[in-house]
Structure 1
Amino acid sequence: MPNRYTELTALGWTEWFDNTAQCGPGDALARVAAVDRDMLLVMDHTGTFRAKLAGSYLHRHSLPQDLPCVGDWVCLEKQPADDIGLIRMLLERRTTLRRRSAGEAVEYQMIAANVDCVFIVQSCHYDFNLRRLERYLVMVRDGGADPCILLTKTDLVGPEVLASQLAQIRSADITAPVLTLSNVTRDGLDELERTLLPARTYCFIGSSGVGKSTIINHLLGRDALRTKGVSGSGEGRHTTVRRELVLLAGGALVIDSPGMREFGIMGAEDGLEENFSAISRLAAGCRYRDCSHTGEPGCAVREALDAGEMSRQQYDSYITLREESEFYRMSHAEKRKKDREFGRFIKSVKKDLDRY
C-alpha cells in the first residue's frame, strides 16, 4: 500500500503510521516537537506552529500517559489563516520511552514517543554507573526502541579507565552498541554523526551535565540548545528545561531531554527479559514456571549463580529491578481499580440526585 503522506516522510512518518492513522475528515497531521504546559509546538512539512488540545480530548483523557508528548503524531484542525491548531486525536505510538513518575505518584511519565534509537549518555568521569545503565536499558527495550550507549567526556579520563568501563559493560552481558565521545577534542563525533540516519528519530537521555545538549549543538553546527560551562570538577551544569525535537541538516531527528535524577521502573517485564537475556534463557530450565529465582528448588538461575557462571552483581541487579517493576505495576493496577470504583460511585450519586 503506497504511503498516503509522503510529504511527512522526512519527519519520521512511515508505512506503519500510514496503516494505523485514522484522522477525521479535513484533519491534518503533525508531529509534536515540544510541550509547554497547555501549549504544544508541532511540525509538519510546511514548518512549525503552535497547537492546543481540544476540550473534548481533555475530557476523554485524564491520564498523563494519554496526553501528547514529544515525538507523538497528532490529528489536528487548522485553517490556513489560523495561528494555532486544535488537536483532536493522538495517533497510536509505535514505540514509547517512559519511566515511573518521580516522587510518590504511581503513574507513568512519558519522556518521548515514536523514537527509533535512544542514546543513553553517561560521563566517563564521575557519572559512570553500571546499575543505573541497566535501569535505563530495561525501560528503553521495554518501550520497543533500540538502545545505544554513549560514553562522554573521554578527555577527562585515562585510556585504562575507559577500557575498564567498556569491560564492565560487556561483562554484564550488555549487548547494546557503545560509542565514546569527547565534546572538547571532538573525538568520536564523526562516528556518532554516521550513526544518525535521515528520517529516523533519536533521543538522548541521561543525568544532568553529561553533555547531551552540547552534543546536539555540535550536530546542529550552532548553539540552538542552551548550555553552561563545566564546573571545577569537569562536570557540566544542567540547563535543558524541556524536551525538544529538532531536525538536523543530514535529515535525522533528535530529541534532547532534561537530566533525570531518578529513572523508576514499572511494569517492564519485556524489557527485563530482553536486557537480562542470559538469565531469561536460564529461567527456561527452572523446575517451576513461576520460579522467582530466590530460593525455590530446581532453580536453574540460582544453580548458575552458585556455580560461578553468573556474577552476584548481575543477579542482584536483575532481582532488584524485577521486584521494583512488579511492585509498582501492582500498585498502579490497584490505583486504577480504585479510580474506576470511585468514578462509578460518583455516577451513581449523580443519578440519585437527578431523581429528586
Structure 2
Amino acid sequence: MTLNDLGFNKQLDNYRIEQGLDSFEVARVISEHKDRYTVKTAANEFDAELIGNLRFSAESKHDLPAVGDWVAISEYDENKALIHSVYPRTSILERKAIGKLGETQIIATNIDVGIIVLAVNRDFNINRIERYLTICNSSKIEPIILISKIDLIDASELKILLNEIKKRIKNISIIAISNQSQIGIDIIKQKLTKGKTYCLLGSSGVGKSTLINSLMGKNIMITKEISDSIDRGKHATTHRELIVSENGILIDNPGMREVGITDNSEALEITFDEITNLALNCKFNDCSHTNEKGCAIIEALENDELDNDSYLNFQKMERERNFFDSNQEERKKKDKDLGKLIKRVVKQRKKHKF
C-alpha cells in the first residue's frame, strides 16, 4: 500500500515540505476513541495520541484530529505514535451537535463523496434524504443516494418509491441495492475510484456495514441480525472507521438519529434549487412566500408545479438554520464576554500583586 492509496496527493505533499514537516511520518486518522486515535501509514497502523502543545493550543474540537484527517506523526514505542500536526482539510462533513446549541459535530474530513444510505422499510423518508443532501452540499462534496434492502419489496413497489424520490430530488445518482442478493453492488463498485474517500451516511440498521463487507468481498465489519420487532438491522457500528479497499477509501459511521442543520444557507439553496430559482421570480424582494400575491412559489404550489412536502421540509430546515445561527452568535458573544472577564481578572491580580 502507498500513501496515494490512502488519498495522499501533491497538494498535501507540498504543504508537508513548506511547513517543515518532512522529518515526520505522514499518516491518516482511521478511527477515534475519545482522546486516542488509530492512524495508518503506508506500512503500519499506530495507536496515537496528541503532543501536549497541540492539545492545549486547540481552541475547539475542530482543531483536533478527526477521522479522515492527515497528520504528522513520530513513533515513540512499538505500534505507538505522537501526533504533532494536522494537515489542512479539503472538506469537513459536519452536523449540528446533538443537545448543544450553536455547536457543530464533525462527522469526517477530507471526503470526496457522501454515500447516503436509506432502507426501503422503516427508515425510508425523503425528508431525511434532503437533510443528508444539505450537509453534503454544505461541505461541497458529491452525494450519491443508495436505496438498500430492495429484496424486502417487489418490483412495482420499488418503482413507485424511486419515482417518489426522483420527483423531489433531481440530478443526483440513485442506486437501488440488496446486500442479500448483491443487486446493484457492481454498479456501486464502478462508481468508486482508487484514492478517493467515500463516507457512508444513514440511520442505524440500514446496511452500511454490510455494504462495506459486500464491497470488500469479505466480512471485515461486524453486523447484526435483523430484528423481527422493528423490521430493521440492529446497530453494530459504534465509532467512525476508515477502511481502505482496492476501489477506494470507505468511512463507516454510527447510525444518525438526528441530522441537524447548521448555518450554511448556500447549502440549503443548492439542495432546494427549484425553490431558490422560483423565489427569484417573486414580485417582491422581501417576499415571505406565505400569502403574498405575485409569489412565484405560492403559484407553483397551487399549480402542482412544486412538491408541497419538499417546500414544507425546506421551511422547517430554514427555521433550524436560523435558530442555529442565532444560538451560534449568542455562544460567540458569551465566549467573548468570558474572555474579557478572564483578562480583567488577570489584570486586577497583577495590579494588586505589585
| Common topology (TM > 0.5) | yes
Corresponding residue of 1:208: 204
Once the two structures are superposed, residues 117-172 of structure 1 have per-residue CA deviations (whole angstroms, 9 ceiling, x without a partner) of 11111101221101111111111111111111111111111112211111111111
Out of 33, 53, 58, the residue aligned to residue 61 of structure 1 is: 58
Structure-2 residue corresponding to 1:303 = 299
8 Å contact from structure 2 (residues 29, 69) kept in 1: yes
Deviation at 1:99, TM superposition (A): 0.6
Give the Cα–Cα distance (whole angstroms) in 1 for the partners of residues 231 and 301 of structure 2: 39
Runs of 5+ in structure 2 lacking a partner? none
Match of 2:37 in 1: 40
Give 2:242's aligned residue: 245
Q: Give the 3 Å change call, closer, same or farther, for CA 173–151 of structure 1 in structure 2.
A: closer
Q: What does residue range 62-141 of structure 1 map to in structure 2 within 5 Å?
A: 62-78=59-75, 83-141=79-137
Q: Is the 8 A contact 2:32 2:67 kept in 1?
A: yes
Alignment partner, residue 17 of structure 1? 12
RMSD: 2.0
Aligned to 1:3: none
Question: Aligned letter for 2:123?
Answer: D
8 A Cα contact 1:156 1:234, kept in partner: no
CA contact (8 A) 2:242 2:252 kept: yes
> Percent of pairs identical after alignment?
36
- Greater alpha carbon shift after TM alignment, 231-240 vs 198-207: 231-240
Structure 1: distance between partners of 2:20 and 2:320: 41
Give 3-state SS (helix, strand or coil) of 1:10's partner.
coil
Q: Residue type of the partner of 2:299?
A: E
Q: Deviations over 1:218-272 (max 9, x none)?
A: 2222221111111115410001001000111x24110110011111111121211
| Match status 1:281 vs 2:277 | yes
Q: Distance in 2 between matches of 1:121 and 1:325?
A: 24
How has the CA–CA distance of structure 1 residues 16 and 281 changed in structure 2, closer, same or farther, with 3 Å as cutoff?
Answer: farther
| Correspondent of 2:233 among 205, 221, 236 | 236
Inter-partner Cα distance in structure 2 for 1:201 and 1:67? 20
What one-letter code is carried by the residue in structure 2 that aligns with 1:303? E
- In the superposition, relative to structure 1, how do residues 251 and 101 fare at CA in structure 2: closer, same or farther (>3 Å)? same
**Following the alignment from structure 2 to structure 1, what is the Cα–Cα distance between the partners of residues 197 and 85?**
21
2:29 partner amino acid: V
Q: What are the ranges of 5 or more consecutive residues in structure 1 without an aligned counterpart? A: 1-5
Quote the offset at 1:285 in angstroms.
2.4
* Corresponding residue pairs, total: 349
- Cα 1:284–1:71 change in 2 (3 A) is same
Change over 3 Å in CA distance of 1:288–1:256 after alignment to 2: same
Alpha-carbon contact 1:174-1:275 (below 8 Å) kept: no
3-state SS in 2 of match to 1:169: helix
Cα distance in structure 2, aligned partners of 1:184 and 1:266: 36
In the alignment, the residues of structure 1 paired with residue 98 and residue 343 of structure 2 have an alpha-carbon distance, to the nearest angstrom, of 31
| 1:173–1:216 Cα change, 3 Å | closer
Q: Distance in 1 between matches of 2:89 and 2:140?
A: 10
Match of 1:321 in 2: 317
Partner of residue 339 from structure 2, selected from 333, 343, 346: 343
Corresponding position of 1:196: 192
Query: Relative to structure 2, which stretch is displaced further, 320-329 or 22-31?
Result: 22-31
Counterpart CA distance in 2 for 1:319 and 1:19 is 44
> Is the 2:239–2:253 contact (alpha carbons within 8 Å) kept by the matching residues of 1?
yes
Q: 1:181 to 1:349 in 2, by over 3 A?
A: same
Structure 1 residues 189 and 56: CA distance shift in structure 2, 3 A: same
Contact 1:204 1:255 survives alignment (8 Å): yes
1:267 aligns with 2:252: no
Offset at residue 290 of structure 1 (A): 4.9
* Distance in 2 between residues matched to 1:20 and 1:130, nearest whole Å: 41
Deviation at 1:7, TM superposition (A): 4.8
What is the Cα deviation at residue 295 of structure 1? 4.2
Q: Distance in 1 between matches of 2:224 and 2:303?
A: 50
**Helix, strand or coil at the partner of 1:264:** coil
Shift in Å at residue 287 of structure 1? Answer: 4.2
Answer yes or no: is the 8 Å Cα contact 2:224–2:233 preserved in 1. yes
Contact 2:92 2:106 in 1 (8 A): yes
Moved more, 266-275 or 298-307: 298-307
TM-score, scaled to structure 2: 0.92
SS in 2 for 1:136: helix
